[in-house]
Structures are given as C-alpha cells and as structure tokens.
Amino acid sequence: MTDAIQKLNQIQRVFAYDFEGVRYDVGEKFGFIKTTIEMALKDDSLKDELIRFMDERLSELKIIES
C-alpha cells in the first residue's frame, strides 16, 4: 500500500487522517472474518445468536466444553 501511495503522490496530492480507535483490515480473508465477528458482537440484534452459534460450533469441534 505504501508504494501505491507514494506513486499516487507523484501525480496528485495525497492526504492522511490520523484517527484514534480500532483499525479493521478487511483487505485479507482473516481480517475480514475478524471484523465481521467484531461488528456482529456489537450489534444487539446479532450478538446472542452469534454467541450461541459459536458455542455450538466450538463444542462440536471439541475446542471448548459446554
């Protein structure tokens, strides 16, 4: 990404914004999955159902005990 920004900066001005908070990287597969789970856990309409689903799946895989 840095190379692309440098190249773009040669033909036009590039601006940046320094922010505080969580940065989510959805540009790669696992980052997308983690972000989706994080967002679902913050959504009251999805949180409980997601937790139940994950508990069931992890129990089936013998990763955690119910």
* Domain coverage including residue 18: 2-60
- pLDDT tens profile 29-48: 999 999 999 999 999 999 99
Number of domains present in the structure of the chain? 1
Q: Is residue 65 part of a domain?
A: no
Answer whether residue 13 shows pLDDT above 80. Answer: yes
Q: Is residue 50 part of a domain?
A: yes
Q: Is residue 53 part of a domain?
A: yes
Cβ atoms of 52 and 60 within 8 Å: the answer is: no
Answer whether residue 61 shows pLDDT above 80. Answer: yes
Two structure tokens written together for 40: 């679902």
Q: Is residue 66 part of a domain?
A: no
* Residue 32 to residue 24: CA distance in whole angstroms: 8
pTM, rounded to two decimals:
0.66
Question: Which residue would you say has higher pLDDT here, 49 or 59?
Answer: 49
* Residue 32 to residue 44: CA distance in whole angstroms: 20
pLDDT given at position 62: 81
